[in-house]
């Protein structure tokens, strides 16, 4: 295994902390289903960012500057890529007309599944790097190609009706025509059926797999420490739900952010490909990532999208 600051005890403590935080989130703070307003969402965004920075400070005090900078860079990359996730989630939840009261529940379970999948992906990536170090070059090339596609692509298209997991569910289990509160399953005439809420959850989960394929190699381009890769990734996606509710009404204001994301992916990919010839310090990597993302955010705010260039709203059936 690559050199890591994460002892078995540290991994166990982090896992317990995540489980406790998720239990408090759904079981205490959001036990009652309600529409999450912008102010409440902004408070939770601040809480998650604060916890992430506090964890980074702890890494700095315990292990030094380099691991702290690697965590922070990986966190910023994943957090920025999460904004793209949010746009897709808006399209998915709008397509299925999910009531706002239950959107938090869908995203909670979706992100819980994402935590498990990210852990599996990171474990697989680490194993591949240990056994076949040349895999890093494949990761780098993949990021360059992905970044170029992001730069060339205008808008994000989502086709939930083509999702193979949803199509498989339709074959295995009947689906109710309407929502039944917060339930993923409902019994009708003595027959157990899936509700559209389960369909939405499956679409969210499978969509996140696509994003993980982009983001995890990018963080391996910053650090090979599996503990830092995992913790930076998890802290970013744990705050994704709050960020969704805070930004869902103003995503069009960040229409140039994709340019920054594409450039970040290309930069990290080239850094991985040239690692044997050019040394790029973690300080320089962090500075480039911050400048690219901050520059595109500012450009988006200073140059609003032309009125005639707005993307078409998501449209689709309220039930699958």
26 lies in a domain?
Answer: no
Give the model's pLDDT for residue 68: 94
30 lies in a domain?
Answer: no
d(CA 31, CA 29): 6
71 lies in a domain?
Answer: yes
Which of 262, 274, 260, 1 is CA-nearest to residue 140? 274
The conformation of residue 135, written as its DSSP 8-state character, comes to H
**Cβ atoms of residues 314 and 156 within 8 Å:** no
Q: Structurally, how many domains does the chain consist of?
A: 1
Give the model's pLDDT for residue 160: 63
105 lies in a domain?
Answer: yes
268 lies in a domain?
Answer: yes
d(CA 243, CA 241): 5
101 lies in a domain?
Answer: yes
Give the model's pLDDT for residue 313: 42
59-96 burial, b for 16+ CB within 10 Å, e for fewer?
bbeebeebbbbbbbbbbbbbbbbbbbbbbbbbbbbbbb
311 lies in a domain?
Answer: no
**Could you count the other beta carbons within 10 Å of the beta carbon of residue 241?**
26
- Domain holding 267, by residue range, is 35-303
Pairing relationship of beta strands 191-194 and 185-188 according to DSSP bridges: antiparallel
Digitized pLDDT (tens) for each residue of the chain, 320 residues in all: 556 887 889 999 998 988 888 777 766 666 666 677 778 888 888 988 999 999 999 999 999 999 999 999 989 888 887 776 777 787 788 778 888 888 888 888 888 888 888 888 888 888 887 787 778 788 788 788 878 877 776 545 556 667 777 778 888 888 888 888 888 899 888 889 988 888 888 888 887 777 777 778 888 888 889 999 999 988 988 888 888 888 776 666 666 777 877 888 888 888 888 877 877 787 888 888 888 877 877 887 777 665 555 444 443 444 44
**Cβ atoms of residues 111 and 241 within 8 Å:** yes
Residue 313: exposure state from Cβ atoms within 10 A (0-12, 13-18, ≥19) = exposed
11 lies in a domain?
Answer: no
């Amino acid at each position: 295994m690559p050199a890591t600051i994460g002892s078995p005890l540290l991994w166990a403590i982090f896992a317990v902390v995540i489980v406790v935080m998720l239990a408090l989130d759904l079981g205490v703070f959001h036990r009652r289903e309600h529409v999450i307003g912008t102010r409440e969402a902004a408070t939770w965004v601040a809480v998650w960012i604060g916890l992430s920075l506090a964890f980074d400070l702890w890494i700095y005090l315990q292990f030094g500057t380099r691991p702290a900078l690697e965590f922070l860079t990986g966190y910023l990359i994943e957090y920025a890529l999460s904004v793209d996730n949010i746009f897709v989630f808006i399209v998915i939840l709008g397509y299925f007309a999910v009531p706002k009261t239950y959107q938090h529940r869908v995203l909670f379970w979706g992100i819980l599944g994402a935590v498990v999948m990210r852990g599996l992906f990171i474990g697989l990536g680490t194993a591949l790097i240990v056994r076949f170090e040349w895999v890093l070059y494949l990761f780098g090339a993949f990021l360059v190609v992905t970044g170029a596609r992001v730069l060339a692509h205008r808008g994000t298209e989502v086709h939930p009706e083509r999702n193979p997991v949803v199509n498989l569910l339709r074959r295995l289990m009947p689906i109710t025509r309407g929502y039944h509160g917060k339930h993923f399953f409902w019994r009708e005439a003595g027959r157990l059926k899936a509700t559209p809420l389960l369909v939405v959850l499956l679409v969210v989960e499978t969509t996140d797999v696509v994003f993980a394929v982009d983001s995890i190699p990018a963080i391996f381009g910053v650090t090979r420490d599996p503990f830092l890769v995992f913790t930076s990734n998890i802290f970013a996606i744990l705050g994704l739900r709050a960020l969704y509710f805070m930004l869902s009404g103003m995503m069009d204001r960040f229409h140039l952010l994709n340019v920054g994301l594409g450039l970040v992916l290309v930069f990290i990919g080239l850094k991985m490909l040239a690692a044997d010839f050019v040394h790029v310090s973690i300080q320089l990597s962090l500075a480039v990532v911050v400048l690219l993302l901050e520059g595109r955010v500012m450009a988006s705010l200073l140059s609003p999208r032309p009125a005639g260039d707005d993307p078409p709203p998501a449209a689709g059936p309220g039930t699958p």
